[in-house]
Amino acid sequence: MIDIYTQVGMRNGINAADAEALDMLVNTVAADGAVFIEIGSWKGHSASILGKMALECNGNLICVDHWREDQDTWRLPPTIDCFDTFRSNMGKLGLGSVVHPILTESLMAAKLLKDEIADLVFIDADHRYETTVKDIRNWLPKVKKGGILCGHDCERRYSDLPPDFQYKIDNSLHRDYAEELACHAGVIKAVHDCFGNKASVIKGSKVWMIKKEETIGEKN
């Protein structure tokens, strides 16, 4: 797996366990000409994992991001252009030929792309509840049957939590990250409300996933 930390000196990427989980998922669907889509790429750490596999299987990675600083993202020094940093990182890693950035909002990009074109879609953008639900609903149709929809920053399954913790999450859904709960409340509840117990969280990681056969509205 590409170690983007040592190759381009980037910090604030996904941690090692999450990187391993994403690498495992993309390996399960990799095939000749595979297409992967990432929603929320930032500086490119997770894109480096998906892009490496795209390069190996003669495929492509579509990266969707507005590459602007948001209220809930890490502060950038005023001299840093995040999109330029992303493109530079992909170039340094030799992935420029397979990584195709779409610089726009998630909803707009979903309208531009055909349904069932992706073997895997990875969601790691705005982590608040309403936005995460919209991303799930907008991008699930882009996944091929048998493909994987997955995402980041889901520390645990909502249904596995005690009632008092569920109540606290329900009252922190507007937050990107709820410090007092040490979790991304919006993501946890959004995944539950869309998929119930059919969605899994990869053990030891914050990566959630579901295969395309399991659809919204068929919760268990």
3-state SS assignment for residue 204: coil
**Residue 219 confidence (pLDDT):** 62
Per the domain annotation, does 166 fall within a domain?
Answer: no
CB 173 within 8 A of CB 185: yes
**Residue 164 confidence (pLDDT):** 96
What residues contact 34, with CB distance under 8 A and at least 6 apart?
A: 53, 54, 57, 59, 60, 119, 120
pTM: 0.90
Ordered DSSP codes for 74-120: PPPPTT--HHHHHHHHHHHTT-TTTEEEEES-HHHHHHHS-TT-EEE
E-assigned strand segments in the chain: 35-39, 60-65, 99-103, 118-123, 143-151, 200-201, 208-211
**CA dist., res. 66 & res. 204, Å (int):** 30
**Residue 220 confidence (pLDDT):** 56
CATH code at position 17: 3.40.50.150
Structural domain boundaries enclosing 70: 4-157+201-208
- Per-residue confidence in pLDDT tens, the chain, 220 aa: 445 544 544 445 789 999 999 999 999 999 999 999 999 998 899 999 999 999 999 999 999 999 976 544 444 444 457 899 899 999 999 999 999 999 999 999 999 999 999 999 999 999 999 999 999 999 999 999 999 999 999 999 999 999 999 999 999 999 989 999 999 999 999 999 999 999 999 999 999 999 998 666 556 5
**Residue 89 confidence (pLDDT):** 92
**Residue 48 confidence (pLDDT):** 94
**CA dist., res. 47 & res. 105, Å (int):** 17
Per the domain annotation, does 180 fall within a domain?
Answer: no
Domain count, the chain: 1
